[in-house]
Structure 1
Amino acid sequence: MMPKTMKTATIFKGPESDPTRVRVEISDIEIPTPKDGQVLIKVIVSGTNPKDWKVPVYMPAFGPHNTGDDVAGIVAAVGKGVTEFKVGDRVAAFHEMRTPFGSFAEYAVAWETTTFSLPDHTSFEEAATIPLAAMTAVVGLHARLNLPSRWETQSAEREAVEKGGIVVYGAAGAVGAFAIKLLSRANLHPIIAIAGKGIPFVETLLDMTRGDVVVDYRKGDDAVVKGIADAVPKGQKLMYAFDTVSSNNSYTNIFKVLDLRGHITFVLPGKKYEGIPETVNDSITTVGSVHGKPDDLWDLGYVYFRLISLGLKQGWFSGHPYEVIPGGLQGVQQGLDNLRDGKNSALKYVYRIEETEGYSG
């Protein structure tokens, strides 16, 4: 029998003495009832993302809230109109950002459209690394850059990538790594991956026989620019770039090689990107679009989450490397602090909710 209350973690902006630090408070609230079209999920493992600490710090207008959006667990109840899932199903889901009942809790809610089934061989820990980051890669590649899927064998965009390649800056991070997996599944090469400490991991994702290369950003900006330029096939133009870092000198390095009529997408909203040539087609990849914000990409999210589920089943898609932070919800503070301090490389932090002190089961 389901309990009436649950533990949840709320993320607050930290003290004035340390304005970029967040504060996590754990409290007991009533377990929500799913609305029409929603699924209530008993959270087994929650993932986390850099925005989980950045939103409270840099977007305080949204107020303190449960910022977790990567859910992996078991369906506990379904709202009216839900036909795809039933109680007891193993699922993962992308919770709608900045809405109540996120994944840092014993139970979370998600829309049916952004929930997907898990095969038995996919652990909840692996599954918790997927939803937000993988869908960010989907939106960036297929909605913002308008790149073709695997079954779209003939298009001007495919021809442009096959001739000049595509840059994935920040390839060891979850969004970058998922982008490489999706590009490979779509048969889009050569991939020019930019990474640092995570290069050994990134190399496992690339196909060097298709012209894929990895460039080490630790060697400095000039070396990065040269590495990108050298990776573009001779006589061709670099027309596409996915900047999953969107900070430091990432995009300025790209612009030194990208064609003046090329396409680039960034991942940080609200940032002022300076020095973009007027003729370059630039965009912001907003993963909230699969929940209708700011544009309506519900169908894209629905289709690709089901494709990801199939990929997990067939083995051509997998989650990101992860580290379990002990303590369940009590561990969220440590995970967010680690993300703020840049301690993670090529991995995602996840939390086993049953390890929470006072867990009700």
Structure 2
Amino acid sequence: MKEAIVGPDLAVEVVDCPRPKPSRGDLLIKVACAGCNPKDWKAPHYTGKKANPGDDIAGEVAECGEDVVGFSVGDRVAAFHQMGTPGGAFAEYAIAPATTTFHLLIKVSFEEGATIPLACLTAAIALYHNLRLPPPWQKCSKKTPLLIYGGSTATGAFAIKLARQSHVSPLIVIAGKSTPFVESLLDASQGDVAIDYRQGQDAVVKAIERHFAHIGAGPAHYAFDAISEQGSFHTLGRVLHPNGHITLVLPEGDYASIPASLTTSLTYVGIAHGSTPDISTLEGIRHVADGDGEAFAVVFCRLFSWGLQAGWLSAHPWKCAPNGLHGLSTALNAIKSGQTSATKYIINPDVSSK
């Protein structure tokens, strides 16, 4: 089969390699589409190691490993590949645990499906595993303001969709040039609002405070920072309740400036595969949520299928990179340079043409 290997300079080599075999509990998936994430350029770039870093898969089940339940050959699925392991998404065939795989309806395209796994699981872990907000089957029974920084990212947008299904409101969402896209996801009747960070930090803080005063709510006790850099957490730290909780996504950040009274946690999507984040070197991160991340992922992957069926969950806007696997370098460089606001790059592994 063909597989794309990404180098530290984001150059991509398409190589021939054996088709992987699924281990116990895993699925071999014939890849129709693979989604690109920021970590896909960061991993080879910062480690200096060549790899197939893709983790978002959509396609058909080609083979089931031992003890797989609920999936059969030919099923249309989307899946989250285990980060840092062989069998990544940027290939004609990829491996994913059945625990982080979910069924796709016929009406959901593979392109749409490939936008969902990693980003939506990250959002779910942030809201429900870390912040402990009521899940979609429980619903909020009272006003519960939630701050989301980075609402136009795939992770931020899925957090909005999940929070609305949980009746968490009002949602105060900070975005940039894609603010109109974010506004399309919000419910103004519930007090939701999008605020443009390009006004500057002081203006954003004042806008949030004015909005809370206007709707008679706040301050918020909960914040999800889907950016976690360039001052995003400084802004959130200024408007959160002194005893609030902020959860962040970057494992290499220096969060020491976040007020000490706040609970700070790292949202790490790897817990879906049983990994535990190491926060010992992260200045300012003071909390790791307990619980079984693998069981959490099983439940939420089933929920994603139902959400797509019910219509409250939908794909993130996407753009297909040209030239199949050979176009991966273009996509990763576009993500690195910030050209993908409110859009997720999708790779089709067809390498028949360059």
TM-score by length of 1: 0.91
1:343 maps to amino acid:
Q
Asked whether the 8 Å contact 1:330–1:357 carries over to 2, the reply is: no
The residue number in structure 1 matching 2:352 is: 357
Structure 1 consecutive aligned stretches of length 4 or more whose deviation exceeds 6 Å: none
The 5 A counterparts of 1:296-315 are 296-315=292-311
The residue number in structure 2 matching 1:229 is: 209
The residue number in structure 2 matching 1:17 is: none
The residue number in structure 2 matching 1:59 is: 47
Matches of 1:136 and 1:331, distance apart in 2: 26
- The correspondence for 2:6, drawn from 11, 28, 41, is 11
Asked whether the 8 Å contact 2:38–2:336 carries over to 1, the reply is: yes
Asked whether the 8 Å contact 1:172–1:195 carries over to 2, the reply is: yes
The residue number in structure 2 matching 1:3 is: none
Quick check: 1:321 aligned with 2:303? Answer: no
Matches of 1:320 and 1:237, distance apart in 2: 29
1:288 maps to amino acid:
G
Matches of 1:342 and 1:266, distance apart in 2: 20
How much does 1:358 deviate? 6.7
Cα deviations by residue, 1:279-329 (Å, 9 ceiling, x for unpaired): 100001000100011164001111001101011112111110000111110
The residue number in structure 2 matching 1:144 is: 130
Asked whether the 8 Å contact 1:169–1:245 carries over to 2, the reply is: yes
Q: Where do 5+ consecutive residues of structure 2 fail to align?
A: 278-291
Q: Where do 5+ consecutive residues of structure 1 fail to align?
A: 1-5, 15-21
Superposed CA RMSD: 1.4
Quick check: 1:248 aligned with 2:230? Answer: yes
Matches of 1:87 and 1:234, distance apart in 2: 54
Matches of 2:137 and 2:226, distance apart in 1: 25
The residue number in structure 2 matching 1:119 is: 105
How much does 1:153 deviate? 4.3
Asked whether the 8 Å contact 1:139–1:285 carries over to 2, the reply is: yes
Seq. identity, %: 46
- Helix, strand or coil at the partner of 2:234: helix
Cα deviations by residue, 1:123-174 (Å, 9 ceiling, x for unpaired): 00000000000000000000111111133246xxx64xx15x1111000110
How much does 1:23 deviate? 2.1
Matches of 1:352 and 1:236, distance apart in 2: 45
Cα deviations by residue, 1:190-214 (Å, 9 ceiling, x for unpaired): 0001011111111111000000001
How much does 1:219 deviate? 1.4
Quick check: 1:131 aligned with 2:123? Answer: no
How much does 1:82 deviate? 0.8
How much does 1:24 deviate? 1.4
The residue number in structure 2 matching 1:345 is: 341
